[in-house]
Structure 1
């Protein structure tokens, strides 16, 4: 039986919802959070892997996303259930995070300048591929910085000098610069 992309996305979203409910049950000390967390995270691993296998062609960024997801799920299991040797998965998760950021920067910064840009209709953006790459990089930096900053703060992670405060600051500054650059590019000339 072949699962369509729409069915895979639906099952992935349901798995994420179950995992979020498991987190809520764990925080509120309600019964059966472990079952919900285990079911949700296993579903995420299975259906994201299916989604990954359905995507063609795959890039280094796709592989690094999959590696980060699997590392995060193992790290999360060991952290939530207070299992021994969790520090190993913390280190693997941090390495996967650095790999994802490196792959993302590589893919965004070294965009093919002759690529067809159907999703961007502005002639000024099409004529300035470096400016487009910089805006993509800033958007990505803002999203990753804010998202991972919250994770680092909530889980009290530190990776050298990088902690939740540093990541949130970087993400919010990148978001502010992105908003300012977007506003200045729309001003009449």
Structure 2
């Protein structure tokens, strides 16, 4: 199955964005942060289980991804509820992530012919993703040091990451093999 026709791609991205919105609410100490994060984690876990179940051919790598996502969502739910014993799930997450990275790793970002599929706009979006991730890391570290601009930096980083996750939802799809005249009738 190619990356472009994966089952439940948009709902999964929306559920991941809901988790990020919940994190923003928690960082800003706004109400309903806990509930938002729980809905996002639960939706991600259920949607991915359904996605795995609907898959025709299940390979070992698909099972590794399922274990990674389900353990991550369960860990997120338990930590959101402030329950103990999340160490087990964190170990499973680490082991399944290392297994996924060894088996697939950066090949996930290549097309079927194993060529890089980065166009200029994708490079810009990837750069934005890196900037967002660095903003989150820097904001987290600076928040520990009680820097006064740490929270806005975290908010900017999480917003960039959420935009990156949702970018494909709002961009128009290319019509391959379509009329080059935008389907206008020319005499």
TM-score by length of 2: 0.50
CA distance in 2 between partners of 1:102 and 1:7 (Å): 24
Q: Within the alignment, does 1:48 sit opposite 2:36 as a pair?
A: no
Contact 2:64 2:96 in 1 (8 A): yes
Q: In terms of mean alpha carbon deviation, does 7-16 or 22-31 score higher?
A: 7-16
Shift of 1:63: 0.9
- What is the match of residue 67 of structure 2? 67
| CA spacing shift, 1:36–1:71, aligned 2, 3 Å | same
Shift of 1:119: 4.6
In structure 1, list runs of 5 or more residues that go unmatched. 109-117, 121-131, 137-142, 157-189
| Larger fraction in helix | 1
TM-score by length of 1: 0.50
Shift of 1:103: 3.1
Aligned partner of residue 8 in structure 2, secondary structure: helix
Q: Deviations over 1:16-45 (max 9, x none)?
A: 222121111111110011111111111111
In structure 2, list runs of 5 or more residues that go unmatched. 117-125, 142-187
Shift of 1:72: 1.1
- What is the match of residue 104 of structure 1? 104
Q: Within the alignment, does 1:91 sit opposite 2:91 as a pair?
A: yes
- What is the match of residue 8 of structure 2? 8
Contact 2:42 2:77 in 1 (8 A): no
Which aligned runs of 4 or more in structure 1 are off by greater than 6 angstroms? none
Contact 1:9 1:51 in 2 (8 A): no
